[in-house]
Chains A and B, each alone.
Chain A
Amino acid sequence: MKWLIFAWKNVMRNRRRSLTAMLITAFGSAAVLASGGFALFTYESLEEMTARDTGHVVVAHARGFEGDEDVPLQHGLADATALAARFAALPGVRAVAPRVQFSGLISNGDKSAVFVGSGVVPEIDFRLRGPQMSFLAGQPPASKAPAPEVVIGNELARLMKAKVGTLLTLLATTTEGNLNAVDVIVSGIASVGVPEIDKRLVLADLASVQKLLLSDKVGTLSIYLKETADTELVAGRVRESQPGLTVKTWRDLAVFYQAVRALYNRIFGILGVIMICIVLFAMVNTLGMAVVERTREIGTLRAIGTLPGEIVRNFVFEGMAIGAAGAVAGMLLAGAATVALLFAGAEMPPPPGRSVGYPLLLSFSPTLYGAVTLMVIALAAGAAWLVSRRAANKPVTEALAHV
């Protein structure tokens, strides 16, 4: 304890210089914490978005993900209802959503456009999608409507001059390779925030799609979990129980998530390295000056019987004190920014290829805060060790003669 008090007194010896180092450390740690918090928030949002889109665990036919079907649902699941019931009974499962991916032409009688659609069970699917899809007009299709209903993307609606209640025709290839058509009523117009998807988006009731494709198979079964953290556990159980099927997790299917994560890790990694260099430089500068100024004092302490290692230890304590104070201030700054952004309602501009921005929020992660604090303290200790080693091992007579 005495040594720590001694170290703190030495830190306070040149207050302005120590304060400058502390402030640099504080802003450096706050920058790392804020950028880390932003990256974490982005990862969490993308995780949620991907999981809501695909489901946490997706089960398909053994060749269901290969994308080499000659006709729709060639590699579909025939016994989907029984499988869905079995998966729904697994612990941690919230819901199981059967889906059929299909494509074709959509027409309003005057003009046609290509669409990429999904046949879904509306009661399950739209509940699980959450805020990822926003309805601009109307509502999800009803399963038991007298005429088949669809939700289309806002860009496609603009192209088709469609509103809620407009009658459109879907034209697609059946499982037998023939063309088939069905008249549908637009029940809703929605956006997923990506114009390229909104230009082709069609979501229809599963039974109607199966009728269009002349099949009772489904393409995939999307398993939604109560906790995203259980993904691997449930995927493992499904693989065990259905070894003949292909099981993928949202992470396997999240190409965008993986790309963003890789990019952000690199960007924020470089930012972190820059911050480390700045903090290290500030510490080396502050403590280096302290060592030079106190060389004579070091000589006195060495003459009295202080070992070089003990001199270095004292400087390391000083560095740790500055580092810890800076890290705590940095945590407070980053914490304040996190709270302020919660209430500020600030938005990030839309990323490339998207039409809507997303909230600018920072995630609070005790692990991140702890790791940054430890890293800053370790950096400060390392800097102190680096600059004090030489002076501590200087011959005593030389140190005492230092002016």
Chain B
Amino acid sequence: MSMAQATVSLGGLRKSYRVGESSVEALKGVSLAVAAGEMVALTGPSGSGKSTLLNLCGLIDTPDAGSRELCGKVLDGLDEIRLTQLRREKVGFIFQGFNLVPVMTAYDNVEYPLLLLGVALEERRRRVAEALHRVGLDALARRLPDALSGGQRQRVAIARALIKAPALVIADEPTANLDSATARQIVDLLHELARERSASVVVATHDERMSSHCDRVLHLIDGELQ
């Protein structure tokens, strides 16, 4: 796949962390391209570099070396403000621990990315209602996260990640904190919604049900793609 067609393209990414006196190389020249609408699973043991690669894909961390492109835009040398604006417009996040804002209702949590984008009130209302309907939470829109089950919270998180129709969705172990039945529903939902919106999804997972839904499964070991 050429870099031009890809939603996200990573070339020769290297990233090291300092641990005490020594340096640990988390990624050793990883290259990856994810096409529009493609769902890629990252698997590997703990400490293999999955989270680091996910962070670099999601623009919340910067590599020591290598190049990155998102939707054809070269990211090298962009400052934090510009990277934040790109995340705001083009990247959705789903976290293992849901990471919903506890003082916001389900509705408010889903609405938040649209507020950042300055979407008008009426349009926001329409899109949030549609997103909540799509994840089956119409009736629970006014509930705070504390009043929702784990599966319902992850549905809210999925709606929040996808409401702005991002080009890329980063999901870090989205089913890890869920029981198997709920996890299956979440996997199906994420797969379905990402397809509908032609969003590329990079998901770090240990869950085979998750990886079995993906177009590609990449295995990371010691900072290298196998």
Contacts and interface: CB of A to CB of B under 8 A. Distances in A.
Interface of A: 2, 6, 9-10, 12-13, 296-297, 300-308, 310, 395-397, 400
Contact of B116 (A296, A300, A305, A395): A305
26 contacts: A6-B103, A6-B108, A9-B104, A10-B103, A12-B103, A13-B102, A296-B99, A297-B99, A300-B95, A301-B101, A302-B84, A303-B60, A303-B93, A304-B87, A304-B116, A305-B84, A305-B91, A305-B113, A306-B116, A307-B81, A307-B84, A308-B80, A310-B116, A396-B61, A397-B60, A400-B60
Contacts of A400: 60, 95, 99
Given A6-B103, A9-B104, A305-B85, 10 more contacts: A296-B99, A301-B112, A303-B87, A304-B93, A304-B116, A305-B116, A308-B80, A395-B61, A397-B60, A400-B60
Nearest to A401: B51
Contacts of B93: 300, 303-304
B contact patch SS: helix
Interface in B69-125: 80-81, 84-85, 87-89, 91, 93, 95, 99, 101-104, 108, 112-113, 115-116
Interface of B: 55, 58, 60-61, 80-81, 84-85, 87-89, 91, 93, 95, 99, 101-104, 108, 112-113, 115-116, 160
B89 A9 contact: no
Contacts of A397: 55, 60-61
A300 B103 contact: no
Contacts of B60: 302-303, 396-397, 400
A303 B161 CA distance: 11
Top 10 A-B residue pairs of the complex, sorted by shortest distance between their CB atoms = A305-B88, A396-B60, A9-B103, A300-B99, A305-B87, A397-B61, A303-B93, A303-B60, A305-B116, A307-B84
A28 B69 CA distance: 54
Contacts of B101: 297, 300-301
A305 B89 contact: yes
A10 B104 CA distance: 9
Contacts of B104: 6, 9
A192 to B, nearest CB: 64
